[in-house]
Every structure is written in structure tokens, then in C-alpha cells.
Amino acid sequence: MKVDRFIKAALLGLTLGIGVPAASSAETLRVMSGAPSGALKVPMNRAVVVESDVPFAELSIANPGIADISTLSDRTIYVLGKTPGRTTLTLLGADGKLITNVEVHVAPDIAEFKERLRQILPGEQIEVRTANDGIVLSGMVSSIQRLDRALDLAQRYAPERVSNLMTVGGTQQVMLKVRFAEMGRSVRKSLSSSLQLGGTIGNVDALGASGTLLSPANASRSPGDPINVASGTQGGMILGFNAGGLRMNVLLEALETKGVVRTLAEPNLTALSGQEASFLAGGEYPLPVSNGNNEIAVTYKPFGVELTFTPTVLADDVINLQLNAAVSGLDESVSYNNGGFSINAFRRRETSTTVEMRDGESFAIAGLIEDDFQDNIGAVPWLGDIPVLGALFRSTEYQRSQSELVIIITAHLVTPTRGEALAVPTDRIRPPSEQDLFLFGNTTASNRPKTGAAGEVAQQDFSGSYGYVMED
């Protein structure tokens, strides 16, 4: 029985012990009659109690939109913060005399905001303060993405009243290396034969021809005259003989062309995280445009190697890239002529994408393989179908082209360095003197630096064979 009473007494004491600190921790401002009152700071949507040492008969708030008041007794006032701002609480005694004026400052509830900030962005060193009716954020965050999240959260508590003094730590500059690599090859072969028959048999004149020998220039040619062959022909041979009054000519034409095209461009560009950067190495092509008043204006279209990208450094050094890359050039095989103007077409390879990667990683963001084949056979009807001899009445041509394009990007987080550590192409070369040029026949004068990266490159020996070597 004594044990049971002891347990009950212990539980009662524990309950009272827990309740006392909760009551003592209430936010309260005590007002003394005849003494200046301190400022009353009230968090928004929270309440603070004001206690007066003398009874008051009347009280008022200058701006009820900022804070609301209610009396708990003749000495106690309940002040509720509604909207961030400043106002004045006035207390009057029973004799109508002023007891005191209390300056009420309602600010956003940064206690709750700090708690939410720790939950959403753990580990970030963000300091939160109030200024007037807004929130000031300072400190250092690990990425721009987390900085934006902190600002978005602060806008929930103080819309349009957030001041950002935060800085982003780590490396925030991105160097993008883009490689455009394209290989194209083509082959074209053609073999054609033409036949011409003519002569006089009795009183009958006959003349017939096929292929190239149909042209009037070849029809009237005499033996030994030049042969008028088809455009592009690289070789031709004509054979002729007479059989009585009949003359026969056979023309053989051959064409074979091969070509290889290699295109390589490697633009490098550096930009700050979140900022757009653009690059163009090429030129601008003038295009005449009519303005509708019989006047011609000139606009310019850029061509060459174009690069535009916007990097964003995320957490853990992940780089988000919004990229537009293109390589373009004039295509002289296609043109438009009008009014004395000749305009060439453009051949353009372009890509636009968004990718994410880490420092030093690469992505093949675009690729293209093309394989075109076509063949043509022209023949004299029926005669071209004759076995063996039908080859004299046929012309055969085929053409095949293959191309392969790949675009690879590599992103690096970079920091500035000292100028002497960088080398430019002009560091090792300077114009020759008259003695170097006329006496020794040197087109350049050596200007090799002693130190730095440029000095290391300058010490390399380029005597003998050098350059690019391509092996089949």
C-alpha cells in the first residue's frame, strides 16, 4: 500500500515538473508605469502576452491590420501578429493618463522557417535574419540549385520580401569542349558507248546514231577531228571503219571519280553556372532581300562552327547542360539565281539537347550515318538487250556516297589560373627581320620563351616529318 502511494506521488511530481517549464517559457513583456517600454517582437501568426504593473482602463492598437489585441485581465494583454510590419500599442489608466506606448514589431516566423530549412536542405550553412518586414538569407550553399530552393522556401514565409546575400561555394565555371567529327567518301563510275552509222547505198542516204554521237557536232565531224564527249568524261576513244559506202563509228566513254571529305572542329567555351555563352567561328553570308518597295536590302546569315550553351552546376558536381551546336558551310552545288544575284545554299548539321554529366565525363550527343546508292542504265530499245553486242548500245552509271557524323561533348569544372601558365599560338613566333628574311630565307624568327607552358612547347623539336599521319 505504501509502495502504491509512493508511485502515485512520484507520477504527480513528474507531471508538475514537466508543466512548470512550459509555463515559464511563455513569451511575455512586462510594462512598468512611468518607464520606457522596450519593443515587442511578435512572430507572424503567433501571440505574445503583455503584463502591466498597474491596471489599465483603455488600450488601442494603431494599425489593427498588423496586430490584433484582446484583454485577458485588467493587467494582461494578448497580442497576435497578423501581418509583417510595425505599429504602436497604447495603454491608458482609469484617470485617462497614458501609462505607456509599446512599439509592436511583427516579423515573419523565422523559427518555423529555420526548422523547415534544416529539414529540406540539411548540411547547408544558411543564416536567417529578419530585416524590417522581410527575411535576409546569408551564408554559403553548395550549389545554385540549393540556393534556388532556399529562396523558394523563403518566399512562402515572406512573399516578395526576401533578400539574398548567399554565396555559392565550390567551382561554378564550366568549360565545354565540343568535337564535331565527320567523314564522307564518294565514288562514281560510268561506262557508255555510242554507235554511229552513215553512208550511201545506191540512191539512198542513211544516218543513225546513239548516245553522245547524236550531237550535231559529232554528226558532222570528219576523221581526225576532236571528239565532243559528255560533260565530266575523263577518257574517250572512238573507232571508225568503212565498208563500201557504209561508215561506222563506235565511241567509248569512261568516268571514275573518288573523293574523301574530313571535317573536324573542336570549339572550347567557358561560362559561369547559370549564364548563357555563345561561340561562332566562321563568317556571315550576305543575302539580298526585297523590302516590297522595289528596293533591295542585304541581310547576313552566319555560318561556320556555332555553339551556345547554358551550364548549371548542381549538387555533387553534376553539370546540367542546355546545348545548341551546329556546323554549317556554303554548298556550291546548289544555288539560286535571280535578277543578277547568285545565292548559294547552306549545308548544316545541328543539334539541340539537354544532358547531365559529371566533371570530365563525355557524351556522344548526336550521330548520323548515311549510305546513298544509285545506278542508271540508258540503252537503245531492243538493241541494248542483245547479248554481248548490246553493250555497244548501253551506257551504265552508278554512284555511291557514305558519310558519318558524330558530336561529342566533354564538360569540365574549371578555375582561373595565372596568365603565365597559359600559351597562345603567337608565343613562339615573331615576324622575321630583314636579315632573317632576305639573307637566310626564314619566314619567321624564333621567339621561344624560357618558362611556363609556352616554353615547354617551344622546346619541342619539329625537325623532320610532322603533322597528321593517316594510315589505311
pTM: 0.56
Same domain? For 65 and 49 the reply is yes
Let me know if residue 453 belongs to a domain: yes
Considering the chain, what is the average pLDDT of its residues?
77
- 332 CB-near residues (< 8 Å, 6+ apart): 344
Q: Which pLDDT score, from 0 to 100, does residue 310 have?
A: 93
Q: Which pLDDT score, from 0 to 100, does residue 228 have?
A: 66
**Contact at 8 Å (CB) between 44 and 82?**
yes
Same domain? For 115 and 94 the reply is no
Min mean pLDDT across 14-28, 48-62, 90-104, 164-178 is at 14-28
Q: Where are the beta strands (DSSP E) in 230-317?
A: 235-243, 246-265, 268-272, 277-290, 296-313
Min mean pLDDT across 192-196, 347-351, 455-459 is at 455-459
Instruction: Read off the C-alpha cell for 409.
Output: 561533348
For residues 90 and 318, what is the distance between their CA atoms, to the nearest angstrom? 57
Of 134, 168, 202, the last residue of a domain is 168
Half-sphere exposure of 213 (CA within 13 A, CB side): 28
Q: Which pLDDT score, from 0 to 100, does residue 430 have?
A: 76
- Confidence tier at 27 by pLDDT (50, 70, 90): low
Min mean pLDDT across 9-13, 228-232, 274-278, 324-328 is at 9-13
Q: Which pLDDT score, from 0 to 100, does residue 24 have?
A: 32
Select from 396, 394, 391 the least CA-distant residue to 374: 396
Let me know if residue 383 belongs to a domain: no
Specify the CATH number for the domain of residue 49. 2.60.40.1080
Same domain? For 114 and 103 the reply is no
Same domain? For 64 and 82 the reply is yes
Instruction: Read off the C-alpha cell for 72.
Output: 485577458
Residue with cell 526548422: 115
Helix, strand, or coil (residue 472): coil
- 141 CB-near residues (< 8 Å, 6+ apart): 121, 124, 125, 126, 147, 150, 166, 167, 168, 169
**pLDDT tops 50 at residue 472:** no
**pLDDT tops 50 at residue 9:** no
Q: Which pLDDT score, from 0 to 100, does residue 323 have?
A: 92
Min mean pLDDT across 15-19, 29-33, 134-138, 200-204 is at 15-19
Instruction: Read off the C-alpha cell for 221.
Output: 565531224
Q: Which pLDDT score, from 0 to 100, does residue 411 have?
A: 92
- Domain extent, residue 156, equals 110-168
Q: Which pLDDT score, from 0 to 100, does residue 16 have?
A: 31
Q: What is the mean pLDDT of residues 362-387?
A: 84
- Confidence tier at 183 by pLDDT (50, 70, 90): confident
Let me know if residue 97 belongs to a domain: yes
Let me know if residue 456 belongs to a domain: yes
Q: Which pLDDT score, from 0 to 100, does residue 39 have?
A: 80
- Confidence tier at 233 by pLDDT (50, 70, 90): low
Q: Which pLDDT score, from 0 to 100, does residue 410 have?
A: 92
The winner for highest mean pLDDT among 43-47, 225-229, 455-459 is: 43-47
The tens digit of pLDDT for each residue in 116-150 reads 888 988 888 888 888 777 889 998 887 777 888 89
Q: Which pLDDT score, from 0 to 100, does residue 4 have?
A: 47
- 120 CB-near residues (< 8 Å, 6+ apart): 149, 153
Q: Which pLDDT score, from 0 to 100, does residue 7 have?
A: 38
Min mean pLDDT across 121-130, 399-408, 420-429 is at 420-429
Select from 217, 215, 213 the least CA-distant residue to 249: 213
Let me know if residue 44 belongs to a domain: yes
The tens digit of pLDDT for each residue in 235-248 reads 666 666 776 667 77
Min mean pLDDT across 56-60, 220-224, 230-234 is at 220-224
Same domain? For 122 and 64 the reply is no
String of DSSP letters for 161-193: -EEEEEEE-S--EEEEEEEEEEEEEEEEEEEEE
Same domain? For 102 and 44 the reply is yes
- 404 pairs with which residues across the strands? 183, 369
Specify the CATH number for the domain of residue 160. 3.30.70.1770
Let me know if residue 349 belongs to a domain: no
Q: Which pLDDT score, from 0 to 100, does residue 42 have?
A: 85
60 or 30, higher pLDDT: 60
Q: Which pLDDT score, from 0 to 100, does residue 356 have?
A: 92
Instruction: Read off the C-alpha cell for 42.
Output: 511578435
Of 107, 124, 142, the last residue of a domain is 107
Let me know if residue 408 belongs to a domain: no
Same domain? For 131 and 101 the reply is no
Q: Which pLDDT score, from 0 to 100, does residue 25 have?
A: 36
Sign of CA dihedral 53, 54, 56, 59: negative
Domains: count for the chain? 3
Let me know if residue 361 belongs to a domain: no
For residues 425 and 444, what is the distance between their CA atoms, to the nearest angstrom? 13
Distance (Å) of CA 322 to CA 171, 277, 310: 19, 11, 5
Same domain? For 48 and 101 the reply is yes
